[in-house]
Amino acid sequence: MTILLFTILVGIASGCGGEENGGEVETTSWSSIDCPRLQLDTFDDCTYEEQNGLFLDDRDSVEAFCESTCDKLGTGVSLTGPFAAGDDIRPKDLAVLKGLKAVNSIDLDDANTLESLHGLESLERINDVFYIRYCDSLTSIEALSSLREIGSNMELIDSDNLQSLAGLESLKKISAMILEYNDELRSIEALSGLEELSGLGVEDNPKLPRCQAEALADKHGLSGDDVAIANNGSGTCDN
């Protein structure tokens, strides 16, 4: 099935954003955009979608979505970087998605200024894939505390400042979990509440005790081609 993605691109909001500071890229907030959605406490039971997907590549498009009160997206979400000091917006969170309960897919790729997933606190279901790749400033996914189901795979790859999967304690169902090249990842204990898991790949996470991955695989009876565990840490696990 073709996944329709809407992309929040570099040139979203002309004139808003921070300045370069000491060679580092400062981040900006979605609050710099005229976004009534950010002020809402409740959202309607409806689906926001466009015929060919929603491409948020300019300020007008962002503000059009911000006018929506729907709690579902009929398309996917893609946030693609990297963002540099000269760019008009460098998002530090996903607050613009506040109130969403369901979405087709999420793809966060090279979003180097993204610090948290704030904005996804209401999200309960992702119909297809959930990718977090090369997001080196990301330190927390605790905003995913309401997420219960991912229809396909979740991939967390090369996001070097994330230390745990805290926030995924409510996740019950996922096809496969892929965790690779996360230099600071130390714990996947948040996945202990999973009831359905069909595949597991945990490789090249030097501070993650191998025994945590093995325990998760054993709990779900995974073996052979359904599991890949290699080049992780050698720490101990509580029985």
Beta strands in the chain (DSSP E): 5-8, 44-48, 70-73, 76-80, 102-103, 106-109, 125-126, 130-133, 149-157, 173-180, 196-203, 227-230
5-230: CATH number: 3.80.10
Q: Determine the pLDDT at residue 59.
A: 64
Q: What is the DSSP string of 93-125?
A: S-GGGTT--EES-EEEES-TT--B-TT-TT--E
Which residue positions in the chain have pLDDT lower than 50? 1-27, 56-57
Q: 83 with 10: CB under 8 angstroms?
A: yes
Question: Which of 46, 68, 45, 44 is CA-nearest to residue 56?
Answer: 68
What Cα–Cα distance (Å) separates residue 135 from each residue in 20, 116, 203, 239? 19, 10, 17, 33
End-to-end CA distance of the chain: 42
Query: For position 66, what pLDDT does the model report?
Result: 85
pLDDT at 76: 84
The set of residues, in sequence order, having a beta carbon less than 8 Å from that of 218 and lying 6+ positions away, is none
Instruction: Quote the pTM value.
Output: 0.83
Residues 6+ apart with CB under 8 A from 87: 10, 11, 17
CB environment 41-65: b (16+ within 10 A), e (fewer): eebeeeebbeeebbbbeebebbbeb
Q: Which two tokens stand for residue 147?
A: 């997420």
In terms of Cα–Cα distance, which of 99, 96, 93 is closest to 69? 99
3-state secondary structure of 143: helix
Number of Cβ atoms within 10 Å of the Cβ of 130: 25
pLDDT confidence of residue 91? 80
CA-closest candidate to residue 158, choices 116, 211, 108, 222: 108
